[in-house]
A and B are shown apart, each in its own frame.
Chain A
Amino acid sequence: MADISEDRANLTNVVKALGEYLTSEESDMLQKGVQFLAMIVARSPQEKLNSQSARVLTSFFAGKLDDSVTIKPALEGLASLASLPLLTSAEVNNIAQALFAHVKMKAITQDVRFKVFSIIDSLMAFHRDVLRSMGSQFIVGYINLAEGEKDPRNLMVAFAIARVILIDFDVSDHVEGMFNILFCYFPITFRPPPNDKYGITTIDLRMALRGAMAATPTFGPMAIPVFLEKISAGSRVTKKDTLQTMASCLPVYGSALARVSARKLWNALKLEIFQPVDSETEEEALKAFQVLVKTIYTDEEAAVESNEDVQGFARDACEECIQILKEPEKSLARPATKILCAFMSTTPSVARYTISQAVPHLVSLFHNPDEISSRPATLVLLAELTNAARDSMLYQASHTSGAEPPLTPYKDDVLGILSVGLTSTNTRNMALAGLKAMASTRNLLSDEELAFIVHNVNQIIEGNVDEFDDSSNDVLEVLSTISEYAPRHVADQTLPLLFSSLPDQAPSRHSASERAKIWRTLSALQTVCTQQELFESLVIRLTTKLDLLCFPLSEQAKIISEDPEPTAAYAHMILKTLADTLSIKVKQRHADVPKYIDRLVSNIFNLFMTSAFMSNEQAMVATDSRLIQVAAEIVTLVVQSLPIQRQQSYSNGVCKAITVGNVADIAHGFQKTVSTRHLSLFEVSSTSNERNLMALLAAAIVAFYKEISLSLGNIGEFLDMLLKWVLDVADNDLQRYSALHIMASILNRHVDELSSFLIDKLDVFWDKEISNQTLPNERRIRAISAWIWVTKALLVRKHPLAMTFSERLYNTFGDETVGWEAARAIGDIASPDPVFTKVNHAEIKVLFVQKYVGVVLPQLINFAKDNEDPIKQTASLVALTSLIKVIPRGAYVHQMPQLIPLLLRGLDLPDADIRSNVIDTFLAAAEGDTSEKSLVSEHTVTLVNSMLRNSKVGEMTSTKVRISALRYLAVLPSIVRYDVLHPYKLTVLRELAMVLDDPKRAVRKEAVDARTNW
């Protein structure tokens, strides 16, 4: 072989050497000879074959085709030759003729047939002209070859060849033959056998066949009857396939044919749309229908451009639908509208015609006094049409920008009836949907008309509270749609209305309805005010209102100090509104968020700091920790959106507040006293309210970039001071966690400067604060949570010490007092939290959880299996459950077989939280489990009994556990084979019948679902 490539031998020598074999009378010898030669040819480099040897070889192989013994190697030889560009037309002719003459497709096996198809395919690729010149001889020959083919792999090639023939060759005389060898396969019902080595799917075949079928318009007349038959007779799959094929074939078959057969096709499609087997088929039918209409009308588009009147098929179909729409409340009206909507996105003229027919019809229907009862339905249909009209604009927007929306001629009428619709409760929501559709159509409504809509919608807001409640969502959608285009109208008309309905004082404790109304108004504001200008006025109005609430006038202050809670709740609602609106804006990446560092965040600091300072003298509303938490949300949202430079200058202000207590830089606002006061967070003399402010500072610091340099002096010392503060000074969780967040964020960003801090923690802190049994439990638990945050900060950036820190926790598992806390910490370390996130610019490496789990999980499993120290063993179970609860399923699923027995033991632990964690883990593990290969199948008895025990109110007091247990029972039938479950079926059904009488509604609901599934 190497000889040939290196020119030491040529093919002639090979042939000569083989001479005896190649001419042998004995079939065995002959076969070997031919095979050898074929292999040589296949492996020789192309450039080594000259045209002469090609000719000789071709005629040789072609000559061997008639012998059943040599046909296989001969075909192989030809296959390699066929792809040679140097073959002359004579040889190509020769090959093709020989194939047609000698190869009996029915007599040879499928892989040999595959060779035949490959040869033709190669010839097609390299010598198409020659084949074309063979004319009908080739086509007839090929038809004979391809007839009756069944193997999917061969069919894939055959369909491809057929497509080329149909497109490139003159097939006019053989349309029927080609049609027969293609359409006999339609529709494809092939199902790939399991472990199919060629990996040909039904879809591959379908697409290949569809390509061939749609290759020539000449198939049209014969294809249509086939389509019709398959649609009406076929199964679901067939129908879908047929409809899709029609959609791709019709444009090829041309408008003339489409026009002729439109009526028949329409009748068939109509059936699928009006009485759909399923929604998918319906959709496909609609698509096919659109294609049909487009095919018919695209050609004449230019001709009828100016003409309102559309003739022929579309007109008939349209009229038929409108006939049905005479009873808009009936169920057939929906599909009829769908058809009309489908018309919209076909061609502009058809769309115009449809609107000119349908819209006036619906409008007059609405005005007809006899049809008042059907008004809601009429409006629904109208809204759908408007939507379709808008969407059709989007399609055409690419080539005809600035075109007039098709609905323009009728907009006054439609607007009119929609406004009427607004006034009555039963049509209101539909009318709002219609208005929204209109408002979101570009170029449709003028400025005044938008103002008119806003005015009308406002009347709903002003009206009866209950009525507004029913349609508030739709109202708000309309308003926010409009505020995208014309914020001025909403700002001028709606906002004053909403703001004025917010009282200056909080409602009293007992007026729940008043409070609900405020919350409704605020939610409405939140939805409407994401737009820039509107948000600005929202911020101004609400901060003013907050200030009024938190620093009341003297006579009001007396009332508030008697019962500050309602006022605090009201302020909380306002802050929550601001925070929620901001978070929506951040998600949508609005550019105006950073500027609220001055306009909003500064005010918030001002307000809360002043309140904290003044709280010594009188009760202040804004010292409530719940308020501070929401305020902290706002601070984080704004700070994280700042660019680096701005963050740097801002951080200086924050650091000043922390180190020297000077808050003047970050707390501008209404209250002027603040800048003269001194914030003494770290002094023992500070009040609890002052210390709570740590939360606001923490909220800013957690969102800093790592490039920000903090002017806090020696960072390590600062962190140690923070830790000490956490253990000794802080007096509630808010303060402690805030300080820990600050510490962890700084550690996460600047770990490289802090190695001595870390070593000190491992060597000193652990022994002194955590494993020291003489300290009070409370303090040790606090130290553990500090440990958690240190570890977290390291883990998310995959710092090498992270594992040392987390593994150290095992040492306390045997401790009776804090063992469980340390165990829970294992889970807490991996749990997702709002501090270390990408948006907060934390240093995070991918897959850190997986790495952590990969190390910790096997260790925990070993501890949990170890019987020697029962306390440690139980603690490991606790650690396991708390860890598995927080990590993604993929991280532990491969350990599941080992985990299940351990988890089942966890179900016997007395702690309700742990039990519900375990069951939730089972639930998470069940996701994606199938009954064929179930992980839990062998534990079915234990699981069923345990879940039943946990689901009964008499034995399990926690509602949450009962619900989880029932949920798991509900999924069991889908993840365990029926024959395994069958023995327990009666027991489960009987026991669940008792659970159906549970005192809690939510439990009953799960019980019903679980019982239904069994």
Chain B
Amino acid sequence: MAGEVYNPNPIVFSTAKAAAGRQSDLLAHSLWINDSSSSSEDEAEEVEAIDQDEIFDLIRSIYDPEHPNTLEELRVVSAPQVTVGTNRITVEFTPTVPHCGMSTLIGLCIRVRLLRSLPERYKIDIFVKPGSHQSENAVNKQLNDKERVAAALENPVLLDTVEQCLANVGSRGAIIV
């Protein structure tokens, strides 16, 4: 990776507990406390649509290319920054410093993760949070240009870096001991 470190000492935030807080689950609290998981197996026809928490779960544990911290810990991504439409998903992320040269790489990681994990019907747009990066337009353009993303993934070194960032992505915010 490039020798220059853009932000040697970033702020680390504590992360929300992974289990806590899907609003829909809390409301479904039933009359009886279910102490075993037997009742969780509902074969009902009820459809659970993909929501922003689910998308966030997919990307929260991506590692920052520069630090041994996840994007969630560095507040690069957060659940409210994800919007889900019928067939369209928009993810916004915040680089830790405005001159961060890793922004495109972070964006690329998010894109690769979502490409692999979402049904093909979705169109995915990834943006830098407005005003958080000095060359915002260039980064946005690069991230949402199909050809350039494809070209970037042809590059074995780059792909390897992306894979490293995605190494632990399955944990979805849970702490691995």
Binding site for B on A (CB under 8 A): 327, 329-332, 334, 376, 380, 470, 509, 512, 515-516, 519, 565-566, 569, 572-573, 576, 626, 957-960, 993-994, 996-997, 999-1001, 1004-1005, 1008-1009, 1011-1012
Contacts and interface: CB of A to CB of B under 8 A. Distances in A.
Residue among A331, A332, A1012 having the largest count of chain B Cβ atoms under 10 Å: A331
A578 to B, nearest CB: 13
Contacts of B43: 957-959
A959 B29 CA distance: 21
B27 A331 contact: no
B147 interface: no
Interface of B: 9-12, 14, 20, 26-27, 29, 31-33, 35, 41-43, 46-48, 50, 54, 57-58, 67, 69, 116-121, 166, 169-170, 172
Nearest to A518: B33
B48 A1001 contact: yes
Considering the complex of A and B, which 8 residue pairs feature the smallest CB-CB distances, nearest first? A997-B119, A999-B47, A1008-B117, A1001-B48, A330-B9, A996-B119, A331-B12, A569-B31
Contacts of B31: 509, 515, 565-566, 569
A321 to B, nearest CB: 14
A169 B101 CA distance: 61
Nearest to A573: B33
A996 to B, nearest CB: 5
A327 B9 contact: yes
Contact of A1012 (B10, B12, B119, B169): B169
B52 to A, nearest CB: 13
Nearest to B7: A331
Nearest to B24: A1001
B170 A1012 contact: yes
Contacts of B57: 1005
Nearest to B57: A1005
Contacts of B116: 1008, 1011-1012
Given A996-B119, A1004-B50, A576 B170 contact: no
A512 B30 CA distance: 7
A11 B166 CA distance: 76
Residue among B31, B57, B172 having the largest count of chain A Cβ atoms under 10 Å: B31
Nearest to B14: A376
Contacts of B121: 997
Contacts of B170: 1008-1009, 1012
7 contacts: A331-B10, A331-B12, A332-B9, A376-B14, A996-B118, A1004-B50, A1012-B170
Contacts of A958: 43
A516 B120 contact: no
Contacts of B166: 1012
Contact of B117 (A509, A516, A994, A996): A996
A959 B41 contact: yes
Contacts of B10: 330-331
Contacts of B118: 996
Nearest to A469: B20
A576 B35 contact: yes
A626 B11 contact: no
A329 B73 CA distance: 12
A331 B67 contact: yes
A1001 B31 CA distance: 23
A1008 B11 contact: no
A1000 B27 CA distance: 18
A996 B89 CA distance: 15
Contact of B33 (A380, A509, A572, A994): A572
A572 B33 CA distance: 8
Contacts of B46: 999
B32 A626 contact: yes
Contact of B69 (A331, A380, A566, A576): A331
Contacts of B32: 569, 572, 626
A519 B48 CA distance: 27
Given A327-B9, A331-B9, A512-B29, A1001 B54 contact: yes
Nearest to A512: B29
Given A576-B33, A1008-B117, 4 more contacts: A331-B12, A376-B14, A572-B32, A576-B35
